[in-house]
Every structure is written in structure tokens, then in C-alpha cells.
A and B are shown apart, each in its own frame.
Chain A
Amino acid sequence: DQQVKQNSPSLSVQEGRISILNCDYTNSMFDYFLWYKKYPAEGPTFLISISSIKDKNEDGRFTVFLNKSAKHLSLHIVPSQPGDSAVYFCAASRRQTGNQFYFGTGTSLTVIP
């Protein structure tokens, strides 16, 4: 049972434009959400997180938005750069139960120069 879903397997964006990656979750008890970026032959690298007490968190070119009522989060990258081309995973956990992080299936982003 996939509790975290990324329904777009791939996304292509022109350099300089905005990339929007989406993620949905089913467990309303999740209260901590993260985005990871993964290059081939490397482990996932943490990008940005958000707690359920917020609806937006920003770090440089990366902004994560959380809509708790819709059980939806999104990652905005602006402006997109060719080096952003990678697979992006969202993940969720319930802090009270500790260390179980659930990952989405990933979205492969290609930024076209």
C-alpha cells in the first residue's frame, strides 16, 4: 500500500522556467515531509523539508508548499537549471512514531538548456 505517491514519472522544463513537482499522501497522521534529489549512482540527497505546522518553506531556489486538507505537497524550483536534472523523491513520516520514512516513487526531472 503506497502511502506516498508521485503521479508524474517524468517532467521536462526549459532552463530558467519553473519546475513544479507534486506529491500526494494518504496518511493524515504524517506531520513531517521532505524532498530528496537523486543522481544516478548516488544516494538520495536531502533538499528541503516542511513540518505540518507550516504551509510553506523556502530555501534559495527551492520552495515546498503543503496543503494538509488536500494531503498534497509540491516542490517549486525557480529558476530551473540543467544541473537540477535528477530524480526527485518526496518522503513523509509521523514524528511521534519515530524513524519510519515513506517514499514516493519519484519524478525524473529534465531541465532543457
Chain B
Amino acid sequence: DTEVTQTPKHLVMGMTNKKSLKCEQHMGHRAMYWYKQKAKKPPELMFVYSYEKLSINESVPSRFSPECPNSSLLNLHLHALQPEDSALYLCASSQADSPLHFGNGTRLTVT
């Protein structure tokens, strides 16, 4: 069982929809991440939160909006996405100098 829980596992949304991806960890990690992974590609970093503050934004379009309500939760709000945004969205957490722990991801399809 993964210690990082992501919901939903699958999501289909239209280009005009607003939806949110959720991520939760209870390992006490103070850094949380969003990665995007397309087929046969490596995970690509989108955002990093450190101590609940956004520390890295890898020039992600504004149609993706991250939120960190507390140290255990991380959300990714989606609005007006494009079909090319269809991908596996992975949440991860880590403590200082420790490996990333990934969730199982949300498979997003934009129609």
C-alpha cells in the first residue's frame, strides 16, 4: 500500500470543466510535489511545496493551480484544460535529504 494517497484514480473532463486532484500523506513530510507523466516519458516536475509554501513552479500554465491547505494535503485545481494535458498526474512527498514517495497517480483524460 502506498503511503501517499491520490484521488480520483481516473478522471475524464471536458475542456470547459473545473475539477480538482487531491493528494494526502501522513508521513510528516514537509515537501510535496506534483509531477506530470506522459506515456514513455519521465515524470516532469510541475510544482513543489515546502512547509506549505510554493517553492518551485516549473513554468506551468495557469490552467493548473496548486494548493496546499495543510502539511498533509495537496490539491491541483484544473480549469480549461487542453487534450494535450491528458497524462498521469503524480503526487509525491519527501523529507529533507530523503527519496520521493509517490502516490499511484490520477490518470487524466481531457476530451
Contacts and interface: CB of A to CB of B under 8 A. Distances in A.
Interface residues of A, number: 24
A45 B44 CA distance: 16
Contact of B43 (A32, A44, A46, A99): A44
Contacts, number: 59
B55 interface: yes
Nearest to B58: A100
B90 A44 contact: yes
A70 interface: no
B41 A43 contact: no
A71 interface: no
A106 B45 contact: no
Contacts of A98: 31, 48, 50, 55
B51 to A, nearest CB: 11
B66 interface: no
B86 interface: no
Contact of B50 (A4, A91, A99, A106): A99
Interface of B: 2, 4, 6, 31, 33, 40-45, 48, 50, 55-56, 90, 92, 94, 97, 99-105, 107
25 contacts: A9-B40, A43-B2, A43-B6, A43-B90, A43-B102, A44-B43, A44-B90, A45-B102, A46-B100, A91-B100, A95-B97, A98-B48, A98-B50, A99-B31, A99-B33, A99-B48, A99-B55, A99-B56, A99-B94, A100-B56, A101-B100, A102-B45, A105-B41, A105-B42, A106-B42
